[in-house]
Structure 1
Amino acid sequence: MLASSRQRYTAAVHAVASVAMVASLAGTAAAQTPRFQLELEAGPAWISRNVVQIPNNATATRFSLNEVTGSGPWPAGRAYFTWNVNERHGLRALAAPLSITETGRLRIPVSFAGGSYTASAPVEATYAFNSYRLTYRYQWRNTERTRLWVGFTGKIRDATVQLAQGSVSTRKDDLGFVPLLHVAGEWRTASNWQLGTDIDALAGGPGRAIDAAVKLGYDPRGRFGVHVGYRTVEGGADVDEVYSFSWIHYAVASLVWRW
């Protein structure tokens, strides 16, 4: 009888220990996903290529807006808001405005959007590229050290190119929808440092769009973080109405709040 009691006691202790071990491993195997996240990003932006021709035919001149505006830098910023519906599924909204107005000179005479501009007088150029996006993403991998998301993004592109010289002023506005694929990942160390990447991109047909970033972050308490890194935005369209391709580079710093 006594031996039987000891055996039952020993079995119960082993069962409790096994459950505790499994619970401990489960807790360390997956990182906790916050319900909401707000990220505010800012930094200088440079444009290494900004070539336009409007319309995209023999009546217009293909030229570089950088001849007028220079390559920068200019201040830029964006804001992300993420709602993780559950451990696997999430939605993320982005607002990323960018607007530049500078005065310079054209290297050659330019025909643009029905207006004629000379190379002998100063010309004012405006370039705006505002991006608003909604992303659905699925958390494909979630461990103590790594996370990986895949999904798709719906992007509203609100772009403007304008030239003004004396009494002549013409512009081209471009408002449209762009579907993109989404991939993001994080790798965390035991000392609260993390390396992350984030990509919205799609190429094919008459154009392409790429927005990619790599950031190093420090999250001392898990709820607040400071990240720094590099972002690049490249792409454009080659259609009858417009030829426009740009390549923008950002040095970025961001504040992250999770709750």
Structure 2
Amino acid sequence: MKIRFLLIALLICGSQPLFAQLKLDVEGGLVFGTNYNKVRIPNTGGTTVNLADDLSIDPKVFYRIRAGYLFGKRHNVSLLYAPLSVTYHGNFQKDINFNNVNFVAGQPLKVHYKFNSYRLTYRYDIVSRARWLVGLGLTAKIRDADVRFKSESKDTHFDNLGFVPLVNFYTAYKPSYHWSLILEGDALASKYGRAEDIFAGVAYQANNKIGIKLGYRVVEGGADVDDVYNFNWINYASAGLLLTL
């Protein structure tokens, strides 16, 4: 899926007229912790665990790539590839039923948590001025998730591939040509769950083609459906390279 996604992004960007404004946002940094990561699989009969409290997590390097296209001065279309995988390790203080497999209390184990995201976004810039840029749009997200519990004697996982519609927003304030304050993200909530992916930070524009950004990103949300209960809050220290072609 990763290769197909990147090929689609290149085809979209490559098929645009020469006068088109293409943008590339390459972001990376450190996953430095999770406030909580509550899992219960299956939702009925499984054991509720909080991976963030019950186990340890090592800092993890992450990256994400967004390819965008601005046309008509206010219309934005972008593709985002945002992989995420973290590993928890330790042992639980009680017996755990995960995916109908029992893990004994005190038994060392690892939990591999994957939450990859593929998104197509359209945003319209409601305000486009010298100092302010404010936009709203819609995001179609494909969620590729997997939770795997592995001990010395047992190994089981639960994967989930699904579609999630989100509301996209972007706000930037430019006190000067070089500097911007940015708040952007995708978010939506329903009775089945919620999802928020929000970045807050500062950007420095070196020239009309190259910029950098630095800030904090949070991914929060989850689902409470028949097969799975999972809600998490993940913190990122983030830096990025901004290219305009």
Does residue 55 in structure 1 map to residue 42 in structure 2? yes
Alignment of 1:205-216 (within 5 A): 205-216=191-202
CA distance in 2, matches of 1:190, 1:51: 43
Q: As a proportion of its length, which structure holds more helix?
A: 1
Change (3 A) 1:96 1:240: same
Cα offsets for 1:73-110 (capped at 9, x unmatched)? 21111111111132121201111101123431112110
Contact 2:42–2:228 (Cα < 8 Å) also in 1: yes
Aligned length: 226
Aligned counterparts of 2:212 and 2:73: Cα–Cα separation in 1 = 23
**How has the CA–CA distance of structure 1 residues 67 and 169 changed in structure 2, closer, same or farther, with 3 Å as cutoff?**
farther
> What is aligned with 2:87?
101
Deviation at 1:167, TM superposition (A): 2.6
**Given residue 40 of structure 2, which amino acid in structure 1 is its aligned partner?**
Q
Point out where structure 2 has 5 or more consecutive residues left out of the alignment. Answer: 1-18
Q: Give the equivalent residue in structure 2 for 1:138.
A: 124
1:84 match: 70
Deviation at 1:69, TM superposition (A): 4.6
Q: Which has the higher strand share?
A: 2
After TM superposition, the score normalised by the length of structure 1 is 0.83
- Quote how far apart the aligned CAs of 1:156 are: 0.4
Residues 57 and 88 in structure 2, CA contact (< 8 A), matched pair in contact too: no
Q: Aligned with 1:66: secondary structure?
A: helix
Structure 1, gaps ≥5 residues long: 1-32
Select 2:224's aligned residue among 200, 224, 238: 238
Q: After the TM superposition, which residues 147-226 of structure 1 pair with which residues of structure 2 at under 5 Å, given as runs?
A: 147-226=133-212
User: Alpha carbon RMSD of aligned pairs, Å?
Assistant: 1.6
Q: Is the 8 A contact 1:68 1:103 kept in 2?
A: no
**Aligned pairs (5 A) from 1:107-122:** 107-122=93-108
Amino acid of the structure 2 residue aligned with 1:162? R
Which deviates the most, 120-129 or 61-70? Answer: 61-70
Q: Residue type matched to 1:63 in 2?
A: V
CA distance in 2, matches of 1:167, 1:204: 39
